[in-house]
Chains A and B, each alone.
Chain A
Amino acid sequence: VNFDLDADERALQGGIRDVCRGVFPMEKVRAMESGLDRAAWRALSEAGVFSLRVSEDQGGLGLGMTHAAIVFEELGRALVPGPLVGTHCARTLSIEEEIVTMCARGDAFVDHLGDADAVATVDADGVWLISKSEIESVPVPQPLDPLTPLNAVKALAQGKKIADEKTATAISLQAPVLISAFLVGIASAETDLAVAYAKDRQQFGRVIGSFQAIKHICADMLTRAEVARAAVYAAAVHLDGNGDGDTARAVNGATLLASDAAFLNGKACVQVHGGMGFTWEIDAHLYLKRATALSAFLGGADEHAEAMAAYL
C-alpha cells in the first residue's frame, strides 16, 4: 500500500499547475464568460490534458486515471472553464475535434454547446458522436454558473457510433472520477481563498482569522477537502486496477464526498468573506456555482447516497 505521489506524478502535478497559473489567471477565466479562448484551450492540449490516457504510439502520454485525477484536480483549483472531461474522454476515443462536449442521452441540458465543435453522447449501447447541426436546442438564459453556459436539448440525433457498450460503461465510471477530482481542486481552492481573506481582513482590531468562529469554519473546509481527496484518488487507483476493493463503490463514494466538499466549502467561503462574499467581484461565488453545476451533472448527492446504500 502506497498513497504517496511518485516523482513522475509530482512532476505532472507541478507542470499542470504552472500551465494553469500562466494561461488561466482568474481575470482570464472570468473573461471566458463570453466564450472560450481557443489559444488557451490549445495550451491545455499541448500540456497533455486531453491526450493523457491516449497510448504513446497514438501520440498520447499513455498514462492512467490516477494521473488524470491529478491533472483534473489542478484544473479545478484554477477553475478552468470548458467541457474538459468531454474533450478528454473524446480524445481518449481518438476523436480529434478540438472542443467536444459530452452528455448522456436523455439529459435535458448540454453545456458549452456554443463553443463546442462536436457532441459526444453516452448511452447503454455505446458512445456516439453528434455534429452540432444534429442537435435541436435552446440556449438557457442566465445560467447559474456564468462560466457554464447551457442549452436545453429539444432533440438529439442518433449520431455516429464511435465506441461500444463496454467503453460506454467504462466512461460512466471514469467521467465521474474526473469531475470529482475537479471538485476536490475547487474544494481546496475555496479553502485557500477563505483562509487568505481571514488572515487579511480586520475587524474589532484584529484579523478575523484569529477568531475561533472563523478558524473552525476553515478547519472544517480543510477536513472535507482532504477526506474527499483521499476518496477520489482511491477511486482513480481502483479504475487503474490497483485498488483493494469494489471499484463502483469507490467511484460512488468519491463522487458523493467530492460533491459535498466543493458545495459546502463554497458556501463556507462566501460566509467567511462576509458582505464581500456576496459581491460578484469576489471569486467565491464562481467556485460555488461551478461546484453546484458539476454536482448536478453528476446526478446530485442524493442519488450517490442512495447508490451507496445499495451496498449495505
Chain B
Amino acid sequence: VDLRYSESDERFRAELRAWLSTAVPSLPPKPGPHDWDARRKYDTTWQKMLHEAGYAGINWPAEYGGRGASPTEHLIFLEECERAGAPYVGVNFVGLLHAGPTLIAEGTSEQKAAHLPKILSGDEVWCQGFSEPGAGSDLASLQTRAVRDGDHYVVNGQKIWTSFAHVADFGELLVRTDPEAPKHKGITWLILPMDAPGIEVRPLRTIAGSSEFSEVFFNDVRIPVENRVGEENDGWRVAMVTFSFERGTAFVGELLHSARLVENLAQIARKIPRGEGTVWDDAGVRRELGHIAADLDGLWHLTKRTITESERTGVPGIGGSIFKLYYSEVRHKLGDLAIRILGTAGLSHEDVAEMPAADHVRGWIHAMSISIAAGTSQIQRNILSERVLGMPKEPS
C-alpha cells in the first residue's frame, strides 16, 4: 500500500493546475439555474475548452479521442478541477459519464464515429430515458414499447426523470421489444434522436424549484434500427454496463466539493451569534462537523482503494455501491446540520444578508436526490447484501 503520487502523476498535476489557472478565470459568468439554453452553452463551452486542451474524456481510451488517463490521474483531474473551482460536467453528464462509455463498450464502429467525437467536443448533449412512472427501482419492468417496422422501431410510451431532456440532442433509451419474454430478456437499448417527430418533453419541477428533469412522451416515434446498441432484447445487459460506470467514480467529484462545504459550514458557524458567542462554541455542533469531516476523509481513502481495484481489474467493483450508500448518508447529515446551523438564514435559495447560505440550502435539497438517484440507498443495500454478503435475493 502506497498512497503517494508518482513523479509522472505530479507532472500531470502541475500541467493541469497551470492550465486551469488561466482557463477557469476566462469563463463567462455562470448563468442562472433556470436559463437552460445559457446553461447548455456554458457547460458545452467548458467542454470545448477541455477538449482543445486535451483533457476531454479524461479516462476514455485514447483510440476514441479520450485522454486515456490512469485512474490515479483521473482522481488528480477531479481534485484539481475542484480546487480551481472549475465547472462540473453539467449537461454533459450523461454523454461523458454514461452514454459515451457505453458506446465505447458496446456500440458499432459507425455509432462510435457518429457520437464519441461530438460528445468530447461539447457539440452533442445527451439525456437518459431509462426510468418510467411504473419502473423506478424495478427498472426491468419498463413498458415503453418498440415495435419493429421494416428498418425502424416505432416507439410508444413514457419516460421520467430524464435529466437535461429539453436541451439534449440524443438520449439513451430503454424499450420493451419482446413483451412475452421474461422482463429482463425483452429489453433493447436505443440511441434516441431528440428531434424525431412524436417526442414531447414536459419539464418536471423538482423540490429544488428547478427543472433538471423532464417527462418524455413517445407517440409513434420512429427510430432507425441502426441506432440499436447491442442485440435486440439484450438491452438489460447493456444497461448494466451503463450502470457500472454510473456507480464507479461518478460521485467522486462531488465528494471533494462536499469537503469544501464542511469547511465553509464551519466558517459560517463561527459567524452566527448564539448567546454570548457563536454557534461554533457549541461542542455538539463542532463534533458533528468533525464527524462528517472524518466520514468524508474515509470516503476519499475508500475511493483510492476502489480505483486501485479498477486499475487492476479493469471494471469498477462493488466499492461503488459502498461509496454511494455511505456518501448519501453523510450528505444527509451534512445538509441537516447546515439547516440547523443556518436557522432563519437558511430560509432562502439565495444568499441572504451576507451569509453564504445558498450552497448549503441547495446542498441539503440535493442530498435528498443522492440517496434516490442511480439506485436508492435501499437498492444499494439489496445489492451489497446479495452480491457481497451472499444473502438471499429479492424476488424479481
Whether B385 lies near A218 (C-beta < 8 A) is yes
- In the complex, whether A144 has a CB less than 8 A from a CB of chain B is no
- In the complex, whether B28 has a CB less than 8 A from a CB of chain A is no
Given contacts A210-B391, A309-B290, 8 further A-B contacts (CB under 8 A): A66-B1, A195-B389, A231-B302, A244-B5, A249-B297, A304-B290, A312-B266, A312-B293
With A231-B301, A309-B266 already in contact, the answer to whether A223 and B322 are too (CB < 8 A) is yes
In the assembled complex, the Cα of A100 lies from the Cα of B226 at a distance in Å of: 74
**Can you give 8 A-B contacts (C-beta < 8 A)?**
A1-B75, A1-B308, A3-B301, A223-B326, A231-B301, A238-B3, A304-B294, A308-B291
- In the complex, whether B127 has a CB less than 8 A from a CB of chain A is no
Q: Which of B294-343 contact A (CB under 8 A)?
A: 294-295, 297-299, 301-302, 304-305, 307-309, 312, 319, 322, 325-326
- The chain B residue sitting closest to A228, CB to CB, is B298
* Interface residues as binary, A250-276 with B (CB distance below 8 Å gives 1, 0 otherwise): 101110110000000000000000000
* Size of A's binding interface in residues, CB under 8 A: 57
Q: Which of A219-251 contact B (CB under 8 A)?
A: 219-220, 222-224, 226-228, 230-231, 233-234, 236-238, 242-244, 249-250
- In the complex, whether A4 has a CB less than 8 A from a CB of chain B is yes
- In the complex, whether B353 has a CB less than 8 A from a CB of chain A is no
Whether B322 lies near A222 (C-beta < 8 A) is yes
* Interface residues as binary, A1-14 with B (CB distance below 8 Å gives 1, 0 otherwise): 11111100100000
Which of B1, B291, B385 neighbours the largest number of chain A CB atoms within 10 Å of its CB? B1
Whether B389 lies near A305 (C-beta < 8 A) is no
Chain A positions within 8 Å of B392 at CB level:
199, 206-207, 209-210
Looking at chain B's contact residues, the main secondary structure is helix
Interface residues of B (CB under 8 A from A): 1-5, 9, 72, 75, 262-263, 266, 283, 286-291, 293-295, 297-299, 301-302, 304-305, 307-309, 312, 319, 322, 325-326, 378, 380-382, 384-386, 388-392, 394
Q: Which of A195-222 contact B (CB under 8 A)?
A: 195, 198-199, 206-207, 209-210, 212, 214-216, 218-220, 222
Looking at chain A's contact residues, the main secondary structure is helix
Chain A positions within 8 Å of B309 at CB level:
3-4
Chain B positions within 8 Å of A191 at CB level:
389
Whether A308 lies near B294 (C-beta < 8 A) is yes
With A212-B382, A215-B381, A312-B290 already in contact, the answer to whether A230 and B3 are too (CB < 8 A) is no
Chain A positions within 8 Å of B75 at CB level:
1
Chain A positions within 8 Å of B3 at CB level:
1-3, 234, 237-238, 242-244
- The chain A residue sitting closest to B385, CB to CB, is A215
Whether B298 lies near A199 (C-beta < 8 A) is no
* Interface residues as binary, A141-184 with B (CB distance below 8 Å gives 1, 0 otherwise): 00000000000000000000000000000000000000000000
Chain A positions within 8 Å of B299 at CB level:
227
Interface residues of A (CB under 8 A from B): 1-6, 9, 66, 191, 195, 198-199, 206-207, 209-210, 212, 214-216, 218-220, 222-224, 226-228, 230-231, 233-234, 236-238, 242-244, 249-250, 252-254, 256-257, 301-302, 304-312
Chain B positions within 8 Å of A231 at CB level:
294, 297-298, 301-302
Q: Which of B4, B288, B307 contacts A243, CB < 8 Å?
A: B4
Chain A positions within 8 Å of B386 at CB level:
215
Which of B291, B325, B380 neighbours the largest number of chain A CB atoms within 10 Å of its CB? B291
Q: Which of A219, A224, A228, A237 contacts B2, CB < 8 Å?
A: A237
